[in-house]
Amino acid sequence: LTVTLLPETPARWSLPNGQSAPLDEALPTNPLDEIAYRMEHPATEVFRVDGGSGVDRWPLLVMDDFDGVTWRTDGRYRRLGAELPPGPEVTVRTSRERARITSAGTGGPWLPSQTWPAAVTGAAPRVAPRYGTLALPGSDGVAQYQLDWWQPQVDATTLGSAATDPDAPGAATPIPDVPPRIQEFADRVTQGRRPSFQTALLLENHLRTNYNRAEGEDLPTGHSWPQLDTFLFDSRRGTSEQFAAAYVVLARTQSIPARLAVGFRAPPPAAGTSTSVITNRDVLAWPEVAVEGVGWVPLDPYGKANGAPAPAGTGLAAQAEAARRQLPPLESLAEQPIAPIMPGGGAAGTGGGPGWPGV
């Protein structure tokens, strides 16, 4: 993964009027490659979060380009400026959320973020608005800052019957040179169903149900075609790296717009406080699926294998969990019409109220 750094200057404009500010620094590793190492050193603190109630995970880097060996991002970084709106693909109602983050260092310039950052105070990071990624030039991720972000609001029933977004940038592009038996495997799991969030959940459920968490000292690493082939057909065990990478390539073969995120799961706050301490044991890779009107919804094919608690709160991860619980068995599942999501966050005909893009 290669990025570029420019000298730091104050951000004096908002993103729509801003200039590109690419990063210019060769990074030694991709955070995706560090998952096994972090799992082997679980007690190391990475950052603390004060606030952010209901947040299930904190991404560092999001990637949607896979060449069969490496996942990459073509993120174009810009100065953050005063404030960002959510992306144009979000048409449902949004709420503005806030947390205070103290990072002890992420091993690269990335800062813990959310999909739709609104503003940052206390630091001057670059932002890749297509992904929500924040990067602090010239640092190893040590920072104290306040993050505001936009949280799309949608109920689980509506989400469970929603269409995926075929116009999602990057993640709707077919992955080239998919090995034939991986393509055939994806076809068998989805049984030729059309792309929808329900189909995305069916694919996720197959991995959650039939594959196991890798434990111990000999943890698998890597996410190239041979390593994914071994995971899917031979060992059937992996870290979240293999679960997430396998999910995204399988989803993309079925025209489900998906991308790969790596970061950390958010543990509950310490007793009697509002502060969560995130350590290496919380490291996680996960897929995100683009849902029409809602934007990027995080899934967790690794969750059941990991024994992680179900997400709490009202965020998209919690709504995805509720939609997951409502999913009937594949053999009794009849394809239903896909209802468009209205601006208020409900399906057409459900009486959803008027929405706004959050600005």
* Phi and psi angles of residue 71, each rounded to the nearest 5 degrees, phi first: -90, 135
Q: Count of residues for the chain?
A: 359
Percent of the chain with pLDDT over 90: 66
Q: What's the number of CA atoms in the CB half-sphere (13 Å) around residue 330? A: 15
Q: What is the mean pLDDT of the chain?
A: 84
| Among 18-22, 80-84, 133-137, 235-239, the least confident range | 18-22
Percent of the chain with pLDDT over 70: 80
Q: What is the pTM of this model?
A: 0.86
| Among 202-206, 287-291, 299-303, 329-333, the least confident range | 329-333
Q: What's the mean pLDDT in 236-259?
A: 97
d(CA 220, CA 241): 9
Confidence of residue 5 (pLDDT cuts 50, 70, 90): very low
> Any residues with CB less than 8 A from the CB of 320 and at least 6 apart, and which?
156, 159, 201, 297, 298, 299, 311
- Asked if residue 76 lies in contact with residue 111, where contact means CB atoms within 8 angstroms, the answer is no
pLDDT(284) > 90: yes
Kindly state the DSSP code that residue 328 receives in the 8-state scheme.
P
d(CA 216, CA 281): 13
Give the pLDDT confidence score for residue 353 in this predicted structure.
Answer: 34
Confidence of residue 137 (pLDDT cuts 50, 70, 90): confident
d(CA 151, CA 294): 10
d(CA 37, CA 122): 30
- Asked if residue 56 lies in contact with residue 322, where contact means CB atoms within 8 angstroms, the answer is no
Provide the token pair at 24.
């210019």
CA 262 → CA 64, 173, 346, distances in Å? 12, 20, 29
d(CA 151, CA 136): 23
- Asked if residue 44 lies in contact with residue 280, where contact means CB atoms within 8 angstroms, the answer is yes
- Asked if residue 66 lies in contact with residue 58, where contact means CB atoms within 8 angstroms, the answer is no
d(CA 121, CA 143): 11
Q: What's the number of CA atoms in the CB half-sphere (13 Å) around residue 8? A: 9
pLDDT tens-digit readout, 49-72: 999 888 999 999 999 999 999 999
Q: Which residue has the higher pLDDT, 124 or 307?
A: 124
